[in-house]
Structure 1
Amino acid sequence: MSGQSITDRIAAAQHSMTGSAISKAVCKATTHEVSGPKKKHLDYLIHCTNEMNVSIPQLADTLFERTANSSWVVVFKALIATHHLMMYGNEVG
Protein backbone atom coordinates (compact mmCIF):
# COMPACT_ATOMS: atom_id res chain seq x y z
CA MET A 1 0.00 0.00 0.00
CA SER A 2 1.19 3.46 -0.87
CA GLY A 3 1.98 6.04 1.80
CA GLN A 4 -0.72 8.33 0.44
CA SER A 5 -3.43 9.29 2.87
CA ILE A 6 -7.08 8.64 2.12
CA THR A 7 -7.51 12.41 1.72
CA ASP A 8 -4.82 12.45 -0.99
CA ARG A 9 -6.47 9.55 -2.80
CA ILE A 10 -9.91 11.16 -2.70
CA ALA A 11 -8.55 14.51 -3.93
CA ALA A 12 -6.73 12.84 -6.83
CA ALA A 13 -9.89 10.92 -7.76
CA GLN A 14 -11.93 14.13 -7.72
CA HIS A 15 -9.45 15.81 -10.05
CA SER A 16 -9.58 12.76 -12.34
CA MET A 17 -13.36 12.95 -12.50
CA THR A 18 -13.34 16.68 -13.33
CA GLY A 19 -10.72 16.14 -16.02
CA SER A 20 -8.13 18.41 -14.46
CA ALA A 21 -4.87 16.61 -15.17
CA ILE A 22 -2.77 19.50 -13.85
CA SER A 23 -4.65 19.66 -10.56
CA LYS A 24 -4.33 15.89 -10.22
CA ALA A 25 -0.56 16.05 -10.87
CA VAL A 26 -0.14 18.88 -8.35
CA CYS A 27 -2.17 16.91 -5.82
CA LYS A 28 -0.07 13.80 -6.38
CA ALA A 29 3.20 15.77 -6.22
CA THR A 30 2.17 17.34 -2.91
CA THR A 31 0.76 14.43 -0.92
CA HIS A 32 0.93 14.06 2.85
CA GLU A 33 3.48 11.27 2.43
CA VAL A 34 6.73 12.24 4.18
CA SER A 35 9.09 12.04 1.21
CA GLY A 36 9.97 14.29 -1.68
CA PRO A 37 7.63 14.76 -4.63
CA LYS A 38 7.86 11.86 -7.08
CA LYS A 39 9.96 12.53 -10.15
CA LYS A 40 7.21 11.36 -12.51
CA HIS A 41 4.82 14.01 -11.17
CA LEU A 42 7.43 16.77 -11.36
CA ASP A 43 8.35 15.66 -14.89
CA TYR A 44 4.69 15.80 -15.92
CA LEU A 45 4.35 19.33 -14.52
CA ILE A 46 7.48 20.41 -16.40
CA HIS A 47 6.04 18.84 -19.55
CA CYS A 48 2.86 20.88 -18.99
CA THR A 49 4.85 24.13 -19.02
CA ASN A 50 5.85 23.33 -22.60
CA GLU A 51 2.28 22.74 -23.79
CA MET A 52 0.49 25.55 -25.62
CA ASN A 53 -2.94 24.80 -24.09
CA VAL A 54 -1.75 24.92 -20.46
CA SER A 55 -2.18 28.10 -18.45
CA ILE A 56 1.00 28.76 -16.45
CA PRO A 57 -0.85 31.17 -14.11
CA GLN A 58 -3.43 28.44 -13.40
CA LEU A 59 -0.65 25.96 -12.68
CA ALA A 60 0.99 28.47 -10.34
CA ASP A 61 -2.35 29.16 -8.62
CA THR A 62 -2.92 25.43 -8.12
CA LEU A 63 0.50 25.08 -6.47
CA PHE A 64 -0.09 28.22 -4.41
CA GLU A 65 -3.39 26.79 -3.10
CA ARG A 66 -1.46 23.81 -1.75
CA THR A 67 0.72 26.15 0.36
CA ALA A 68 -2.39 27.03 2.40
CA ASN A 69 -2.69 23.42 3.58
CA SER A 70 -2.41 22.76 7.31
CA SER A 71 0.18 20.02 6.76
CA TRP A 72 3.78 21.20 6.70
CA VAL A 73 4.63 18.25 4.43
CA VAL A 74 2.16 19.37 1.76
CA VAL A 75 3.35 22.99 1.98
CA PHE A 76 7.02 21.97 1.78
CA LYS A 77 6.36 19.72 -1.23
CA ALA A 78 4.42 22.53 -2.96
CA LEU A 79 7.42 24.82 -2.46
CA ILE A 80 9.77 22.14 -3.79
CA ALA A 81 7.56 21.65 -6.84
CA THR A 82 7.39 25.42 -7.40
CA HIS A 83 11.18 25.69 -7.19
CA HIS A 84 11.60 22.74 -9.56
CA LEU A 85 9.28 24.36 -12.11
CA MET A 86 11.08 27.68 -11.79
CA MET A 87 14.42 25.94 -12.46
CA TYR A 88 13.45 23.52 -15.22
CA GLY A 89 10.06 24.57 -16.59
CA ASN A 90 9.31 26.78 -19.56
CA GLU A 91 8.29 30.18 -18.24
CA VAL A 92 6.84 31.25 -21.58
CA GLY A 93 4.47 28.25 -21.79
Structure 2
Amino acid sequence: MNWAVIVLLIAALMIYCTTFYRFMKETEGMKDERGRHINQAASEVTLIIVQTLLLASLVAVELFESINPSLLLALIFTVAVLGHSILRYHYAKVM
Protein backbone atom coordinates (compact mmCIF):
# COMPACT_ATOMS: atom_id res chain seq x y z
CA MET A 1 0.00 0.00 0.00
CA ASN A 2 1.19 3.48 -0.82
CA TRP A 3 2.37 5.61 2.13
CA ALA A 4 0.52 8.66 0.80
CA VAL A 5 -2.76 6.73 0.97
CA ILE A 6 -2.03 5.63 4.54
CA VAL A 7 -1.24 9.20 5.62
CA LEU A 8 -4.40 10.44 3.89
CA LEU A 9 -6.52 7.82 5.65
CA ILE A 10 -5.02 8.69 9.03
CA ALA A 11 -5.70 12.40 8.43
CA ALA A 12 -9.27 11.60 7.37
CA LEU A 13 -9.78 9.52 10.51
CA MET A 14 -8.50 12.33 12.71
CA ILE A 15 -10.81 14.85 11.03
CA TYR A 16 -13.75 12.48 11.42
CA CYS A 17 -13.08 11.81 15.09
CA THR A 18 -12.68 15.51 15.86
CA THR A 19 -15.84 16.63 14.07
CA PHE A 20 -17.90 13.74 15.45
CA TYR A 21 -16.78 14.50 19.01
CA ARG A 22 -17.60 18.18 18.62
CA PHE A 23 -20.98 17.41 17.05
CA MET A 24 -21.92 15.06 19.90
CA LYS A 25 -20.75 17.67 22.42
CA GLU A 26 -22.78 20.44 20.74
CA THR A 27 -25.98 18.37 20.52
CA GLU A 28 -25.55 16.49 23.80
CA GLY A 29 -25.56 13.13 22.07
CA MET A 30 -28.54 13.96 19.84
CA LYS A 31 -30.94 13.53 22.75
CA ASP A 32 -33.11 16.42 21.66
CA GLU A 33 -35.07 17.27 18.53
CA ARG A 34 -32.40 19.75 17.42
CA GLY A 35 -29.73 17.05 17.18
CA ARG A 36 -31.98 14.76 15.17
CA HIS A 37 -32.92 17.61 12.85
CA ILE A 38 -29.25 18.49 12.31
CA ASN A 39 -28.45 14.86 11.50
CA GLN A 40 -31.35 14.69 9.05
CA ALA A 41 -30.29 17.87 7.22
CA ALA A 42 -26.68 16.67 6.98
CA SER A 43 -27.83 13.27 5.70
CA GLU A 44 -29.93 14.83 2.95
CA VAL A 45 -27.05 16.94 1.65
CA THR A 46 -24.62 14.02 1.93
CA LEU A 47 -26.97 11.80 -0.07
CA ILE A 48 -27.15 14.36 -2.88
CA ILE A 49 -23.35 14.66 -2.96
CA VAL A 50 -22.85 10.88 -2.98
CA GLN A 51 -25.39 10.40 -5.77
CA THR A 52 -23.65 13.06 -7.87
CA LEU A 53 -20.24 11.50 -7.26
CA LEU A 54 -21.53 8.04 -8.16
CA LEU A 55 -22.95 9.31 -11.43
CA ALA A 56 -19.73 11.17 -12.26
CA SER A 57 -17.62 8.12 -11.47
CA LEU A 58 -19.80 5.88 -13.66
CA VAL A 59 -19.23 8.27 -16.56
CA ALA A 60 -15.50 8.52 -15.78
CA VAL A 61 -15.06 4.74 -15.69
CA GLU A 62 -16.82 4.40 -19.04
CA LEU A 63 -14.80 7.18 -20.67
CA PHE A 64 -11.38 6.40 -19.21
CA GLU A 65 -10.46 2.73 -18.96
CA SER A 66 -7.36 3.47 -16.91
CA ILE A 67 -9.43 4.57 -13.89
CA ASN A 68 -9.71 1.98 -11.14
CA PRO A 69 -13.38 1.71 -10.06
CA SER A 70 -12.50 0.41 -6.59
CA LEU A 71 -10.40 3.51 -5.88
CA LEU A 72 -13.30 5.71 -6.97
CA LEU A 73 -15.65 3.86 -4.63
CA ALA A 74 -13.17 4.24 -1.79
CA LEU A 75 -12.95 7.96 -2.51
CA ILE A 76 -16.75 8.30 -2.57
CA PHE A 77 -17.01 6.41 0.72
CA THR A 78 -14.42 8.68 2.32
CA VAL A 79 -16.21 11.78 1.03
CA ALA A 80 -19.53 10.46 2.35
CA VAL A 81 -18.26 9.70 5.85
CA LEU A 82 -16.16 12.85 6.23
CA GLY A 83 -18.70 15.03 4.47
CA HIS A 84 -21.52 13.89 6.71
CA SER A 85 -19.45 14.46 9.80
CA ILE A 86 -18.35 17.93 8.70
CA LEU A 87 -21.90 18.89 7.69
CA ARG A 88 -23.25 17.77 11.08
CA TYR A 89 -20.64 19.87 12.83
CA HIS A 90 -21.39 22.86 10.58
CA TYR A 91 -25.15 22.58 11.10
CA ALA A 92 -24.65 22.22 14.85
CA LYS A 93 -22.89 25.58 14.82
CA VAL A 94 -25.34 27.29 12.44
CA MET A 95 -28.71 25.93 13.65
Shared topology, TM-score over 0.5?
no
Provide the TM-score with structure 2 as the length reference.
Answer: 0.34
**Which has more radius of gyration?**
2
Bigger RCO of structures 1 and 2 (CA < 8 A, at least 6 apart): 2
- After TM superposition, the score normalised by the length of structure 1 is 0.35
- More helix per residue: 2
